[in-house]
Every structure is written in structure tokens, then in C-alpha cells.
Amino acid sequence: MLKTALQPRWIAGLLFALVISTVFVLLSQWQFSSAESEESGEPRATEDVRPLTEAFTPGKPMYETEADQMVSFTGSFDPDRSVLVKERLQDGDMGYWAVTAFNVDGAPAGEFIPVVRGWVSDPEDVTEPPAGEAAVVGRLLPSEAPLPATPEDGRVTALSTAELINLWDAPAYSAFVTATEITVDGAPADAGSMETLDVSAQPEETPVNWLNIFYALEWIVFAGFSVFLWWRLVADEHNRSLEDDEYEDEYDDEYDDESTDATEPDNDHPSNEVTK
């Protein structure tokens, strides 16, 4: 079969099959890349600032569709309810989150929500929360799970609202807000040495177009079939050549037998009888 496959026309056929297979593989890659829908250039709905009392209800767990929402609310900070959350990164540096309870205007049962006012590398740099009526704009995030650790005065290892509820003995939202803007009487609050957190929304899952995946697999099958078809044609040609050789051998044997019979004397012919 190798002798048949090395014939010039079958070598040319193989090259043609490989070119076709390459085209099919490229089409398959294009279908795979098209299977993931492109994200639109429009801003996500989470970036539209909504009132906290409309975006989330206290006393219930947060759903995925509610997380990362930019919210706004008014009320006042409670300076007696503040903690530092340890081991928080900001631009590669380790430090603390300064968190203070915020009494939300319009909360159903007077619930507070923990507000991350900023980040500091040194606890001494934390400023006092602004007094009086304040307005906050920030990103709403789900509560973290509490971590086992030795209690420290005014410091926690995770921003868990369940832990803060027990610590401050007051009802709260099961979420917290990282503030991007805090104003008092319309003027920005003095943050001192604290750095504002820039928390981005989590990336959305890219939907997959399964029809494109199916087409991509089809192109791969076609690529393999083009090479298989070449091999099948070569095998058929090889089998035909074997049959032709076998037929020629049988014909030669039969011709030789007939020639031998023609040259042998016929003993039954009258001319071969001995005259007595």
C-alpha cells in the first residue's frame, strides 16, 4: 500500500487533503472563539447608582444579582461602633479597613450597615467618622464569613455582619458598603490620611453559544474525514491493483495450460495408429 501511496497523484491528493483539513481546523477555531458572546460596550446595570433602600432589603441574604450594585443612602455614622479589619491589601500594601456603622434613613427597623470609610497602613492614621447628617455613595457587597481568631479590641479578621451584630448588639443589613464618596452638608468629608477604596464589580460570566460549539466540532470531524477519504481512496486503489495482478496471474496460468495441451500429441488420432 505504501508503494501506491507514494505515487505522484496520491501524494498530490494527500497535500490537497491536508490543505482542506487546515481550512476546516481554522474554521473550527473561529467557531470556538465565536462561541463566547462579546460583552456589550454599555455600562453594567450595577454601575447605575440606586437608593440602598430600593436595591436591598435588610434581614435577608444577598443574591448574586444584587451584589456589586452602586448604592446611595443618607443617615449618620455611629462613632461608638467602629472596627478595623486586618490584613487588607491596597495597591500591593497590607493594611486595615476602617469600618463604621451607619444608621440608614428609611431602614425598616432602624438597621445599620457597615461602611468601609477607607484604607490605612497604620491604625494611627484612622480619622474620626464625620458627625451629623451624611450621604454615602459606594458599592454594595455581600457579608464575609467570620474567621476563627483571638478577639482583639476594635479589630476583626473579616467583615462579617453577623459578627458585628453580636459585637454591637444592633440589627444590621447582611451586607456592607465600600464608600467611594462621603459628603456632609454637601461637602466632601475629611478623610485625613485614609485612602478611598476602589472596588470594581466582579466580571460577569460570559454566556456560551452551544450552537457554535457544535459547528466547531463538526469542522473538526470534516478535517479528519478529508484525510480519511484520501486514505480510503488509496486503499481501494491498492486493492484493485492486487486484484488485477491476481487476475493476470490466473490468466497467465490458464494460457500456459492451454499452450501445453496444444503441443501434446493426440494418441487417439488415426494417424497415430501403428500400421500392422
User: All 3 cell numbers of residue 1?
Assistant: 500500500
Residue 205 lies in a domain: no
Strands 187-188 and 175-184: antiparallel
Query: Would residue 126 count as lying in a domain?
Result: yes
Whether 150 and 223 map to the same domain: the answer is no
Query: Does residue 166 share a domain with residue 76?
Result: yes
Q: For residue 263, tell me if it sits in a domain.
A: no
Q: Is residue 267 part of a domain?
A: no
Q: How confident is the model at residue 33 (pLDDT cuts 50, 70, 90)?
A: confident
Q: Distance of CA 217 to CAs 16, 20, 183, 230, Å?
A: 21, 16, 57, 21
Same domain for 50 and 173, yes or no, is yes
pLDDT tens digits, 196-209: 988 877 765 556 67
Calculate what percentage of the chain has a pLDDT beyond 70: 79
- More confident call, 191 vs 36: 191
What CATH number should be reported for the domain holding residue 152? 2.40.50
> Rounded to whole angstroms, what are the CA distances from 110 to 104, 105, 225?
7, 8, 70
pLDDT tens for each residue of 259-273: 555 555 555 555 554
Shared domain for 103 and 231, answered yes or no, is: no
Whether 162 and 211 have beta carbons less than 8 Å apart is answered as no
Q: Would you mind telling me the total number of residues written for the chain in this entry?
A: 276
| Model pLDDT for residues 50-66, shown as the tens digit of each residue | 999 999 988 888 888 88
Q: Which three cell numbers stand for residue 119?
A: 484604607
- Do 67 and 141 touch, CB atoms closer than 8 A? yes
Give the C-alpha separation, 194 to 184, whole Å: 17
Q: Beta strand 70-90 with 50-51: parallel, antiparallel or unpaired? A: parallel
User: Same domain, yes or no, for 63 and 103?
Assistant: yes
Same domain, 76 and 151: yes
Tally of domains in the chain: 2
Tell me, yes or no, whether 167 lies in a domain: yes
Domain co-membership, 77 together with 107: yes
Q: What is the mean pLDDT of residues 106-134?
A: 93
pLDDT at residue 21, as a whole number: 86
Q: Are 82 and 150 members of one domain? A: yes
Domain co-membership, 172 together with 219: no
- The residue-averaged pLDDT of 79-83 equals 93
User: Which amino acid would we find at residue 16?
Assistant: F
Q: 134 and 94: one domain?
A: yes
User: Could you tell me which residue, 144 or 252, shows the higher pLDDT?
Assistant: 144
Query: Which of the two residues, 226 and 202, has the higher pLDDT score?
Result: 226
Within-domain flag for 133: yes
| Domain-ending residue, one of 188, 221, 243 | 188
The pTM assigned to this predicted structure is 0.61
Q: Quote the CA–CA distance of 217 and 20 in Å, as a whole number.
A: 16
What SS3 string covers 191-237? Answer: CCCCECCCCCCCCCCCCECHHHHHHHHHHHHHHHHHHHHHHHHHHHH
Domain membership of residue 71 as a residue range: 45-188
Greater model confidence, 242 or 113: 113
- CA 117, CA 191: separation in Å to the nearest integer? 8
Cβ proximity of 97 and 156 under 8 Å? no
- Please check whether residue 9 lies inside any domain of the structure: no
Residue 6 pLDDT > 80? no
Per-residue exposure over 151-163, b if at least 16 CB sit within 10 Å of its own CB, e if not: eeeeebbbbbbeb
- Residue 231 CA to residue 21 CA, distance in Å, equals 14
Sign of CA dihedral 188, 191, 192, 198: negative
Let me know if residue 203 belongs to a domain.
no
- 30 and 145 fall within a common domain: no
Residue 43 reports pLDDT greater than 50: no
Are 77 and 129 a contacting pair, CB within 8 Å?
yes
How many angstroms separate the CA atoms of 169 and 183, rounded?
Answer: 27
Specify whether 108 is located in the same domain as 229.
no
DSSP letters along 145-165, please?
Answer: PP-----BTTEESS--HHHHH
